[in-house]
Structure 1
Amino acid sequence: MKAICTIITKSHLHYAQVLHKSILRFMPDIHMHMLIVDTIESERPKTLERASAYTNEITTQSELGKKIYDKYYQKNMDHYRWSIKSVFMANLLERGVDQLLYLDSDLFFFDDPTFLFEKLNNKGILLSPHFRCSDPSIDYNEYGRNNTHGLFNGGFVGASKNGIPALNWWAKACHSVCEVNKKAGYYVDQSHLNMLPVLFEDISIIRNHGCNVANWNITGSPRSQKNGEVLLDGRDKLVFIHFTSDTIQGILSGEDPLLKPYLDEYEKALMEEMPSMEPFKIKKPWYQKLV
């Protein structure tokens, strides 16, 4: 069984539903599992279409999940959400899911993601590179972020049952340290992902530049247009965009103009789900923050 999952606060339920709908266009039976970290059992949504919602009860049943909860939940909710990710994924795989994609709720798909599941055939973990600048002579600072922010993006991680040992290692590493300390080499949960291809043999890496398109790969995944279609790195069709606030601001400011039609589609989908939502606006002053 294939599935997707995400971790949110209850304020982002609509974002998760929009993400889910973007994938249902291509995989109409795909089920979404949502961990809502600030919802108690009595408030848990129970009538979601092709989706299931969970509370922290599902992750704190394990000893490691309880330790992560005790360490981060009251101290830093973001660090808790990031650290509990691998515990939630392993739990779902142990409950019967065969292949699973973890997706941040601010992702949106524009093409069929089936091939991403296929990359998990006979593999344990699927990682998504940031595709930052790979040449320090072109952009010294952006190239350096490969080392300070992690080679792989924690907003997309795939796993199969074979990947449970790697997920458990990741959870233990996050329990030990989940912080931003660039001098020491720590960037929340992401920097730990650098170790997975070293420690585990069954790691697959996405080479398609059309995946996880965002502000951080403007240089590493150059955009072009051919026959009305946007291509990444001159060859790859756009599959999904990571609509972080900086990605949105970069598009609105004109720094990433070829992605504007995709932002418009995303905004329309969000406003259909949340009619009271304000349209996206450029923030003043705006400067590009590559994160």
Structure 2
Amino acid sequence: MSKNICTIIAKNYISFARTLCSSFLEHHPDGKCYVLIIDEFEGYIDASEENFEIIRIDELGIPRLPEFCFKYNVTELATATKPYLLKYLFASVNMDNILYLDPDILVTHSLDKLYEALEKTDIILTPHLDRDYPDDGLLPNDGHIMLSGIYNLGFIGVRKCENVNNFLVWWQHKLYDKCVVDHSAGYFVDQKFIDLAMVLFREITVIYDTGYNVAYWNIHSRNIRKENDIWMCNNDLLYFYHFSNYKPEKNVLSGHQNRFSLENLPALHELFLVYTELLQLNGYDVSAKQWPYGYGKYSNRKTIHEIERINFRKIVPSGTVVNPFNLESHPVYLRKAIFKAKIWRKARSLIYNLMVKIKPNK
């Protein structure tokens, strides 16, 4: 049975992809890794020197690709391409199944059980929680999970079959225009749609083993420790840890939680130190801090601001602008909207700075 994983990055995340793939191959030396790089990496990455196969975004067959890359920020774009990548791999590579893992994951043990699960079911997922949060007023809380989705899509396993093909086509359709962070509208990138998929598709299995997809959102119910050089979680093995929102230079568990600190979790702190060292060995200090995002600027080198992407999504009919990265090709009404957005952004900044200056000392 083939052992394959895939992940998605912008080029500045290459150290994360290298670390993920090396950790996977350590436990699956005959396995294969596929990395989708969503922006241009020529001159930054030599594909022949990597231990994974690189896939370019223009290989995925995404309709109106420049529009797709412009209307989403880097996080939205990376998550929106997920079903396209999975469908592409099934169509172009001879494989029966594949695991998707976010690039900021470290594999700490064999994932054989997951591949075995895919012999009996079509889709495997892990939930954010297996135990409720305490009522301690700290973060994250159940509201965070209700907003972001029951399942964490930093991991998904799928096998090649008609049911999965139908699921991926459905997911592609949803994510083409709606892969956004818009809690008021009920959207949270690719993830929230899986709550719907659970009732729209069959043969989906939830993996409840606490050793998979351990992260800041479930660490309140996980006991991480090391026994005889083997990473453990609760009463069993730790299979992979998800370092979501971790920034090595800050050395905190996550900016999205305040319930725990690494200093109070010595075994987990050791795992974070190991991971940080691996990232640095794989080029983190150069790639993460110095390499630019390929879709961050217009063709005239001006920065694309988030509000401009939002305006484009909201007011420009799909297919109207062939190359949104060329400002001259934007319709007049879009340029006016962008101009107003810039004025409003500057006004908000000015108001905020004035309020800070006149804020009374306590």
TM-score (norm 1): 0.82
Deviation at 1:90, TM superposition (A): 0.9
> Is 1:91 the equivalent of 2:94?
no
Q: Name the CA shift for 1:98/1:13 in 2 (closer, same or farther; >3 Å).
A: same
Q: Name the CA shift for 1:226/1:13 in 2 (closer, same or farther; >3 Å).
A: closer
Highest CA radius of gyration, 1 or 2? 2
Deviation at 1:225, TM superposition (A): 5.0
Deviation at 1:270, TM superposition (A): 2.0
Tell me the secondary structure at the aligned position of residue 25 of structure 1: helix
Q: Name the CA shift for 1:252/1:94 in 2 (closer, same or farther; >3 Å).
A: same
Distance 2:227 2:47 in 1: 45
Distance 1:112 1:206 in 2: 15
Root mean square deviation of aligned Cα: 2.8
Paired position in structure 2 for 1:74: 70
Distance 2:51 2:172 in 1: 28
Distance 2:67 2:217 in 1: 30
Deviation at 1:38, TM superposition (A): 0.8
Residues 123, 202 of structure 1: 8 Å contact kept: yes
Residues 90, 164 of structure 1: 8 Å contact kept: yes
Q: Name the CA shift for 1:230/1:167 in 2 (closer, same or farther; >3 Å).
A: same
> Is 1:29 the equivalent of 2:30?
yes
Residues 126, 159 of structure 1: 8 Å contact kept: yes
Structure 2: segments with no counterpart, 5+ residues: 254-259, 288-362
Q: Name the CA shift for 1:98/1:224 in 2 (closer, same or farther; >3 Å).
A: closer
Which residues in structure 2 correspond to 1:99-138 (within 5 Å)? 99-131=97-129, 133-134=131-132
More strand per residue: 1
Deviation at 1:119, TM superposition (A): 1.4
Cα offsets for 1:162-189 (capped at 9, x unmatched)? 2222122111111231222223321111
Q: Name the CA shift for 1:253/1:40 in 2 (closer, same or farther; >3 Å).
A: closer
Structure 1: segments with no counterpart, 5+ residues: 279-291
Which residues in structure 2 correspond to 1:38-77 (within 5 Å)? 38-39=39-40, 45-59=46-60, 61=61, 65-67=62-64, 69-75=65-71, 76-77=73-74
Tell me the secondary structure at the aligned position of residue 170 of structure 1: helix
Distance 1:256 1:168 in 2: 42
Distance 1:213 1:38 in 2: 29
Structure possessing the higher relative contact order (Cα contacts under 8 Å, 6 or more residues apart) = 2
Deviation at 1:230, TM superposition (A): 6.1
Paired position in structure 1 for 2:11: 10
Residues 124, 202 of structure 1: 8 Å contact kept: yes
Deviation at 1:79, TM superposition (A): 1.2
Distance 2:224 2:42 in 1: 48
Distance 1:205 1:16 in 2: 25
> Is 1:272 the equivalent of 2:275?
no
Tell me the secondary structure at the aligned position of residue 66 of structure 1: coil
**Paired amino acid for 2:23:** S
> Is 1:240 the equivalent of 2:249?
no
Distance 1:194 1:170 in 2: 12
Distance 2:81 2:180 in 1: 14
**Paired amino acid for 2:69:** Y
Distance 2:222 2:97 in 1: 31
Distance 1:230 1:18 in 2: 17
Distance 2:127 2:239 in 1: 14
Distance 1:161 1:41 in 2: 32
Residues 8, 36 of structure 2: 8 Å contact kept: yes
**Would you say how many aligned residue pairs link Structure 1 and Structure 2?**
271
Residues 100, 156 of structure 2: 8 Å contact kept: yes
Distance 2:213 2:141 in 1: 17
Residues 40, 55 of structure 1: 8 Å contact kept: no
Q: Name the CA shift for 1:158/1:31 in 2 (closer, same or farther; >3 Å).
A: same
**Paired amino acid for 2:166:** P
Aligned mate of 1:249, from 252, 268, 282? 252
Paired position in structure 2 for 1:179: 180
Cα offsets for 1:217-237 (capped at 9, x unmatched)? 122x232659677654x4332
Distance 2:201 2:227 in 1: 41
Distance 1:98 1:201 in 2: 18
> Is 1:194 the equivalent of 2:191?
no
Distance 1:190 1:51 in 2: 26
Tell me the secondary structure at the aligned position of residue 173 of structure 1: helix
Q: Name the CA shift for 1:110/1:70 in 2 (closer, same or farther; >3 Å).
A: same
**Percent identity over paired residues:** 28
Q: Name the CA shift for 1:263/1:53 in 2 (closer, same or farther; >3 Å).
A: same
Residues 7, 37 of structure 1: 8 Å contact kept: yes
Distance 1:41 1:78 in 2: 21
